[in-house]
Amino acid sequence: MDEQDWAGYVAGLDRGLDELNVEIGRAADRPETGPSVEDVLLTHTSALELTGWRMRFGILDARVAAVLSGNPGR
C-alpha cells in the first residue's frame, strides 16, 4: 500500500468517525423519531470495519501478486 492509498484510507476513516458522531448525536436527541443509538453505532462501525477489511485484503492481494510475479519486495 502506498502513501496515497493510506492517506485516502485515513481520510475516509476520519470522515466516517465524524459522520458517526453526528448520527449518534441525532439519535440521542430524537430517540422517538429515528433509529436508536445502538442501531446507528452498529451500522456505522460495521461499515468502518468492512472498509478496514477491504484494505487488508487489498494489501494481501498485492503481496500475493508480487510473489507470484517473482518480485516479492519487502
Residue 15 near residue 69 (C-beta atoms within 8 A): no
Q: What is the pTM of this model?
A: 0.74
Contact 27, 43 (CB under 8 A): no
Amino acid at 30: R
pLDDT of amino acid 20:
95
Mean pLDDT of the chain: 90
**Which single residue is written with the C-alpha cell 476520519?**
14
* Cell output for 55: 484494505
With cut-offs at 50, 70 and 90, classify the pLDDT of residue 22: very high
Which ranges constitute the DSSP H helices of the chain? 3-29, 37-68
